[in-house]
């Protein structure tokens, strides 16, 4: 590519970064509002045992420098967060950011891996159905995609666990399976497969991609390509494949992250989802706040990437 | 990320045939199956409401622990405490039915409102609404629910409130797309030229005559999502608590006996979830193909 062709991408990147920043600001405001409205803020929860009366608590608040007004609280929280200080977990006393990033990597692996599984299953079905229409093969395959997408993912997880424990003699330990060195790669693969198949996104990917590909196949330029004897696939690739796939991936990241909460629970996968679950049980506010914000950052990064791909494929879009 | 696309002047738009004659056989089968599931769910909900149940849902019979399906008197067998599974499945619908309707109502009401504002007003209103929908879309729904559960309490109505709000962007963007499409049409132009009040144009010409189908489809999909959310959260322990039955906590409780090879008490509710969600999905898709004229050739 020539240098000039990077210009629209750079423009869009700058604009999208600005939008992302604005949105993340909104995200922090939403998270703060929810927890501000919560009955019994974590600070009073901590003090309850030590300071029985309201006056004593009010005094200690000021002494410890906890501001009263909501905007002062928000700004001090935001300021700490921007400096990378998300506070410490109420339960473990460990710094939230370091802990979340540590387990966040596991969730990232799980999410990206399962997305790949979803695409590997859904894309061939969608492309086949788009090119050949509804026939004896594409209809059962589409039905299968629907059926699999309606399965409760935790039940699927249990079935897989049962099969592997009884048929292969593998036992779940703290991190997936680890009783047989030879099969240790399974502790990574199994949850990824279960989430990829059971997250409920396969049917939507199939439907969306089939619709988009079907639409592109009817465009005039595809007809021209076919008439010239050029490769139809090469011409349909950008509009009919690359754009819809990146769009659906970006749109489904939040969904798959939600599924990860459940799959991590079933497989004891030490990730962000499990941590969020634990934090919700303990009302561990700093942790759940940190996770919500990091998850939003993750989702926004996905959207950013999708926009970049979109503009790289279609530079006209940078002028919208 | 649903985009609204429609080509103007498709044949189906002008033909006088009733919709079931224009439709694909496959779509009709989808809708038929979906309607069957909806009927079953509503009927079971009413049965549960009026306590017309085959057994007492909390009646424990110790001589019939984990009976297989087809045991006389217990059509779908019993669970690990000897409670009738069929009864508990029927009663489990109570756990999501009304909360699910709440989620749908929120999504449709606010989604329509924002969609109309964004599509009809445009300008800075549109920008503000786009910001709001992007903001809501930034949160994984499950994480937002866990946040609310931690902040307030694990209550199904709070959960469904979040489900409803997180569905607002989808409805809003669909309505907005529909309005932008309709505004180019001559009948809207004519209505404006005739001096009809904006209220009439929006309510009658846009929403009633042209967005009904879209809203029904979104309601169907919303119910499927509500069931999925309820079962997932009951599984995580934040939803309906034992001994009150819900499909999610039935799968969860039954799964403790999985490793002994007793699949049925967990599988029966899992199948109920599977076929119900499938029904709502197919109903939504079939209706979409038939009423909105999107055909997958």
Per residue in A223-239, pLDDT (tens digit) is 899 899 888 888 888 88
pLDDT at A73 over 50: yes
Higher pLDDT, A52 or B185: B185
Provide the number of structural domains found in chain A. Answer: 1
Report the pLDDT value the prediction gives residue B295, as an integer from 0 to 100. Answer: 45
Chain B interface includes A155 (CB < 8 A): yes
Which candidate, A197, A82, A73, places its Cα nearest to that of A147? A197
Across the range A195-199, mean pLDDT stands at 87
Question: Does the residue A13 lie in any domain?
Answer: no
Instruction: Give, in order, the Cα–Cα distances in Å from A69 to each of A36, A63, A204, B114, B225.
Output: 11, 15, 46, 32, 39
Lowest-confidence pick of A55-64, A285-294, B43-52: A55-64
Q: What pLDDT was estimated at residue B296?
A: 39
Statement: residue A66 has pLDDT above 80: no
| Degrees to nearest 5, angle at CA B274 with B272 and B277 | 100
Q: Are B126 and B252 in contact (CB under 8 A)?
A: no
Residues in B 257-276 with any Cβ partner in A closer than 8 A: 258-259, 261, 266-267, 270, 273-275
Of A92 and B89, which is predicted with more confidence? Answer: B89
Integer Cα distance of B97 and B18 in angstroms? 32
Q: Which DSSP letter does residue B77 get?
A: -
Check residue B276 and give its pLDDT.
93
Chain B nearest C-alpha distance from A203 (Å)? 9
What does pLDDT average to over chain A?
A: 81
Give the CATH number for residue B193: 1.10.3720.10
Output the DSSP codes for chain A: --GGGGHHHHHHHHHHHHHHHHHHHHHHHHHHHHHHHSSS-HHHHHHHTT--SHHHHHHHHHHTT---SHHHHHHHHHHHHHTT---B-TTT--BHHHHHHHHHHHHHHHHHHHHHHHHHHHHHHHHHHHHH-S-TTHHHHHHHHHHHHHS-HHHHHHHHHHHHHHHS---B-SSSB-S-GGGTTHHHHHHHHHHHHHSS-HHHHHHHHHHHHHHHHTSHHHHHHHHHT--HHHHHIIIIIIHHHHHHHHHHHHHHHHHHHHHHHHHT--SHHHHHHHHHHHT-HHHHHHHHHHHHHHHHHHHHHHHHHHHHH-GGGGG-
% of chain A surpassing 90 pLDDT: 11
pTM value surpassing 0.90 = no
* Nearest residue to B153 (alpha-carbon basis) of B215, B52, B233: B233
B128 CB contacts (<8 Å, ≥6 apart)? none
Give the pLDDT of residue A39: 76
Closest CA to B265 of B53, B71, B20: B71
- 8 Å CB contact between A284 and A229: no
Q: Is residue A165 part of a domain?
A: yes
Q: Structurally, how many domains does chain B consist of?
A: 1
- A41 or B77: which leads in pLDDT: B77
Q: How far out from the chain centre does Cα B92 lie?
A: 16
Q: What is the pLDDT of residue B50?
A: 86
Residue B85 lies inside a defined structural domain of this protein: yes
pLDDT at residue A55 is higher than 60: yes
What does the pLDDT read at residue B297? Answer: 34
pLDDT of res. B24:
74
Query: From the candidates A154, A205, A301, which should be mutated to test the interface with B, based on the most B CB atoms within 10 A?
Result: A154
Q: Given CB atoms, is A36 within the 8 Å cutoff of chain B?
A: no
Q: How confident is the model at residue A178 (pLDDT cuts 50, 70, 90)?
A: very low
Q: Which domain holds residue A261?
A: 98-311
CA distance A205 to A126: 8
pLDDT at A40: 65
Q: Enumerate residues 6+ apart whose C-beta is below 8 A from A222.
A: A216, A232, A235, A236
* pLDDT value of residue A68: 65
Residue A184 has pLDDT above 70, yes or no: no
pLDDT of A174: 44
Cα–chain-centroid distance for residue B71?
A: 33
Asked if residue B3 is part of any domain, the answer here is no
Can you say how many angstroms the Cα of residue A192 is from the centroid of all Cα atoms in its chain?
Answer: 13
Residue-level pLDDT at A160: 85
- Classify residue B220: in a domain, yes or no: yes
Give dist(CA A155, CA B228) in Å, integer. 12
Per-range mean pLDDT, top range of A49-58, A171-180, B152-161, B274-283: B274-283
- Is A265 within 8 Å of chain B by CB? yes
pLDDT along chain B (297 residues), means of 10: 52 58 79 93 90 77 72 75 84 89 95 92 89 91 90 87 93 91 87 88 86 89 88 86 85 81 85 92 87 56
CA distance A65 to A30: 24
Phi first, then psi, for residue A186 (nearest 5°) are -65, -30
CATH code of residue A144: 1.10.3720.10
In-domain check, residue B1? no
pLDDT at A93 over 50: yes
Instruction: Please enumerate in sequence order all residues whose Cβ is within 8 A of that of A223, keeping only pairs 6 or more positions apart, or say none.
Output: none
Q: Name the more confident of B124 and A93.
A: B124
Q: Count of alpha carbons within 13 Å of A88, Cβ hemisphere only?
A: 6
The answer, for A136 touching chain B at a CB cutoff of 8 Å, is: no
In a domain, B141, yes or no: yes
Confidence grade of residue A61 (pLDDT, cut at 50, 70, 90): low
Tell whether B240 is covered by a domain.
Answer: yes
- 8 A C-beta contact, residue A106 and residue A175: no
With H, G, I as helix, E, B as strand and everything else as coil, classify residue B84. strand
Instruction: Identify the weakest region by mean pLDDT among A66-70, A264-268, B82-86.
Output: A66-70
Summarize pLDDT for A141-156 with one digit per residue, the tens. 888 888 888 888 888 8
Residue B107 is assigned to a structural domain of this protein: yes
What pLDDT is recorded for position B169? 93
Average pLDDT over residues A33-37: 84
pLDDT band at A177 (very low <50, low <70, confident <90, very high): very low
Determine, yes or no, domain membership for B6: no
Q: What is the pLDDT at residue B1?
A: 46
A10 neighbors A298 (Cβ within 8 angstroms): no
Q: Please give the span between the terminal C-alpha atoms of chain A, in angstroms, as a whole number.
A: 22
Rounded to the nearest angstrom, the minimum Cα separation between B275 and chain A is: 7
Residue B127 three-state SS = helix
Range of the domain at B30: 20-58+67-296
Residue A296 in contact with partner chain B when CB distance is under 8 A:
yes
Does A275 touch chain B if contact means CB atoms closer than 8 Å? Answer: no
Q: For residue B106, what pLDDT is reported? A: 95
Residues 6-35, chain A: which have Cβ within 8 Å of B?
A: 19, 22-24, 26-27, 30-31, 34-35
CB pairs under 8 A between A and B: 157
């Amino acid at each position: 590519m020539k240098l000039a062709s990077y210009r629209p991408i750079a423009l869009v990147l700058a604009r999208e970064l600005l939008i992302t920043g604005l949105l993340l600001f909104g995200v922090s405001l939403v998270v703060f509002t929810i927890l501000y409205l919560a009955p019994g803020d974590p600070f009073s929860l901590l003090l309850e045992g030590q300071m029985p009366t309201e006056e004593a608590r009010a005094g200690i608040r000021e002494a410890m420098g906890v501001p009263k007004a909501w905007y002062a609280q928000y700004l001090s929280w935001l300021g700490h967060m921007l400096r990378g200080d998300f506070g410490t977990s109420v339960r473990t006393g460990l710094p939230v950011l370091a802990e979340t990033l540590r387990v966040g990597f596991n969730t990232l692996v799980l999410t990206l891996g399962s997305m790949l599984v979803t695409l590997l299953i859904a894309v061939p079905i969608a492309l086949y159905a788009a090119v050949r229409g509804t026939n004896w093969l594409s209809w059962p395959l589409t039905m299968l995609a629907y059926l699999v997408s309606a399965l409760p993912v935790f039940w699927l997880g249990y079935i897989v666990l049962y099969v592997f424990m009884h048929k292969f003699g593998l036992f779940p330990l703290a991190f997936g399976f680890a009783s047989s060195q030879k099969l240790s790669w399974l502790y990574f693969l199994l949850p990824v497969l279960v989430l990829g198949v059971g997250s409920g996104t396969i049917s939507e990917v199939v439907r969306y991609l089939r619709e988009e590909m079907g639409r592109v196949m009817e465009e005039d330029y595809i007809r021209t390509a076919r008439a010239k004897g050029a490769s139809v696939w090469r011409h349909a690739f950008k509009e009919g494949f690359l754009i819809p796939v990146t769009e659906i991936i970006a749109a489904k990241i939040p969904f798959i992250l939600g599924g990860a909460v459940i799959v991590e629970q079933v497989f004891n996968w030490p990730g962000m989802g499990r941590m969020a679950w634990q934090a919700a049980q303990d009302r561990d506010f700093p942790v759940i706040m940190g996770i919500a914000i990091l998850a939003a950052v993750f989702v926004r990064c996905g959207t950013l990437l999708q926009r970049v791909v979109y503009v790289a494929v279609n530079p006209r879009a940078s002028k919208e | 990320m649903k985009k609204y696309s429609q080509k103007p002047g498709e044949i189906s738009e002008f033909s006088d045939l009733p919709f079931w004659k224009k439709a694909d056989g496959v779509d009709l089968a989808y809708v038929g199956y979906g309607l069957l599931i909806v009927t079953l769910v509503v009927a079971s909900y009413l049965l549960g409401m009026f306590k017309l149940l085959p057994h007492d849902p909390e009646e424990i019979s110790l001589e019939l622990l984990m009976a297989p399906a087809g045991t006389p008197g217990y059509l779908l067998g019993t669970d690990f405490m000897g409670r009738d599974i069929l009864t508990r499945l029927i009663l489990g619908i109570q756990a999501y039915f009304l909360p699910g309707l709440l989620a749908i109502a929120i999504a449709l009401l606010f989604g329509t409102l924002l969609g109309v504002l964004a599509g009809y007003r445009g300008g800075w209103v549109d920008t503000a609404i786009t910001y709001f929908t992007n903001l809501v879309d930034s949160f994984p729904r499950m994480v937002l629910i866990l946040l609310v559960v931690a902040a307030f309490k694990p209550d199904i109505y709070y959960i469904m409130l979040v489900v409803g709000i997180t569905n607002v962007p989808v409805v809003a963007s669909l309505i907005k797309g529909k309005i932008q499409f309709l505004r180019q049409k001559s009948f809207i132009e004519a209505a404006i030229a005739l001096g009809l009040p904006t209220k009439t144009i929006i309510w009658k010409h846009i929403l009633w005559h042209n967005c009904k189908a879209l809203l029904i489809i979104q309601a169907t999909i919303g119910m499927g999502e509500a069931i999925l959310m309820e079962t997932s959260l009951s599984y995580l322990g934040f939803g309906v608590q034992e001994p009150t039955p819900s499909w999610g906590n039935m799968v969860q409780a039954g799964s403790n006996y999985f490793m002994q090879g007793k699949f049925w008490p967990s599988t029966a509710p899992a199948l109920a979830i599977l076929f119900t969600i499938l029904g709502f999905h197919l109903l939504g898709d079939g209706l979409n193909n038939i009423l909105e004229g999107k055909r997958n050739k």
